[in-house]
Amino acid sequence: EIVLTQSPGTLSLSPGERATLSCRASQSISSTYFAWYQQKPGQAPRLLLYGTSTRATGIPDRFSGDGSGTDFTLTISRLEPEDFAVYYCQQYSGPYTFGQGTKLEIK
């Protein structure tokens, strides 16, 4: 089973700043089967990016994704107040696995 490790565990930033979240896989994975999700308290997760870099329907273009092999990145170019949430990466290679999450909090 592939383990996804997200860093940092918590990221404290201010609105308007740039956020960079990382996800590292325990072995090389296909970029086609890699996704990012956003989850706010008390809500279901929401798909942000799939296929590493393709934005899901309705996701603003300040969200972007990159990466290949074992290292993947989610970038939020300019933080809006509604972006403060927990972010999860996810892959499919055999069983589906998720990272443990990065909490993006207001500084």
Partner 1 sequence: EVQLLESGGGLVHPGGSLRLSCAASGFTFSSSAMSWVRQAPGKGLEWVSTINNRGGTDYAASVKGRSTISRDNSKNTVYLQMNSLRAEDTAVYFCAVRGLTFNFDSWGQGTLVTVSS
Helices of type H across 1-107: none
C-alpha span between 97 and 95 (Å, rounded): 6
> For the CA atoms of the chain, what is the radius of gyration?
13
2 touching partner 1, by CB under 8 A: no
Selected binder of partner 1 within 11, 55, 88, 104 (CB under 8 A): 88
CB nearer partner 1, residue 84 or residue 88: 88
Interface map 5-44 toward partner 1 (x if CB under 8 A): ---------------------------xx-x-x-x---xx
Q: Which residues would be at the binding site for partner 1 (CB under 8 A)?
A: 1, 32-33, 35, 37, 39, 43-47, 50-51, 56, 88, 90, 92, 95-101
